[in-house]
Amino acid sequence: MALNLPWHRFADMPFEAAIFDLDGTLYDSSALWREMPVCFLRSYGIEVSEELERPSENQSIREGIRFLKEKYGLPGTEDELLTAYYQLLRDHYQQRVPMMPGAAALLQSLHEKGIKLCVATAAEKEMTEAALKRCGVFQWMEFVLTEEEVGASKRYPDIYLQAAKRLGVDPETCLVFDDAPHAVETAHGAGFTVCGVGMDGEAKQRLQETHCCYKVVGSFQEIMDMIK
């Protein structure tokens, strides 16, 4: 099965598969990531305001843990703190992080059309799968592939190329959905057709400014309207 859309990087070449990012694309997790430093510190009995100095968004989780340990004197080793942080994250993903409106319906529609699907994410595999299962969409995924498994961030094409290989398709027939400008630049550079997902005007503008998206949408309903 294949999917034809009114826009495509490669003319007359329908899509056979789609790779989805998790955070900010399929799941509305931005509020959780803003809250996590506060929630984590409070789990150690450290009361802080919502306006506390946070780790930089460009830091890895480990670097963020190091920052919190040094600034707030958290007990335990860096590895112990990292384990505790991930457990707190898993609890949130298993219980409350919501899917983006229309995401589940789009995944189901693509699956029913025979499009092979997977998730490629910077998030931990266990919590990714927990979130997908909670929302009833894991059944439509061929697999979940993480940056940790690949050994490289989305600033490098490895995760997209490995995902396409496992899906059994060429980049030319594989669509990538992502909300991060650096990720869409990487996927585009690796030969994929990219759909940028920006749920507000500022996010859409950042994606459009990359000049790497063949479509930028503000909702998944826009895609649904194209494939009906």
| Residue ranges of domains in the chain | 17-28+99-227, 30-95
CB atoms within 10 A of CB 19: 26
Per-residue b or e along 56-72, where b marks 16 or more CB atoms closer than 10 Å to that residue's CB: eeeeebeebbbbbbeee
Low-confidence ranges of the chain (pLDDT < 50): 10-11
In this predicted structure, what is the pLDDT of residue 1? 56
DSSP string, 43-68: HTT----TT-----TTS-HHHHHHHH
In this predicted structure, what is the pLDDT of residue 157? 96
In this predicted structure, what is the pLDDT of residue 96? 87
Domain 17-28+99-227 listed as CATH 3.40.50.1000: yes
* Predicted TM-score of the model (pTM): 0.84
What's the rounded Cα separation, in Å, for the pair 98 and 117?
A: 20
Nearest to 54 by CA among 41, 44, 82: 41
In this predicted structure, what is the pLDDT of residue 2? 55
| C-alpha dihedral sign at 119, 120, 121, 126 | positive
In this predicted structure, what is the pLDDT of residue 51? 66
What's the rounded Cα separation, in Å, for the pair 147 and 178?
A: 14
* Residue 179 phi, psi dihedral angles, 5° rounding: -105, -10
- The three-point CA angle 66-86-142 to 5° equals 130
Cα distances from 192 to residues 10, 124, 175, in angstroms, run 9, 24, 6
Q: Helical H runs in the chain?
A: 30-43, 61-72, 78-95, 103-112, 125-134, 147-150, 158-167, 181-189, 201-208, 220-227
The greatest distance separating any two alpha carbons of the chain, rounded to the nearest whole angstrom, comes to 59
Nearest to 88 by CA among 100, 98, 96: 96
What's the rounded Cα separation, in Å, for the pair 225 and 78?
A: 48
In this predicted structure, what is the pLDDT of residue 221? 87
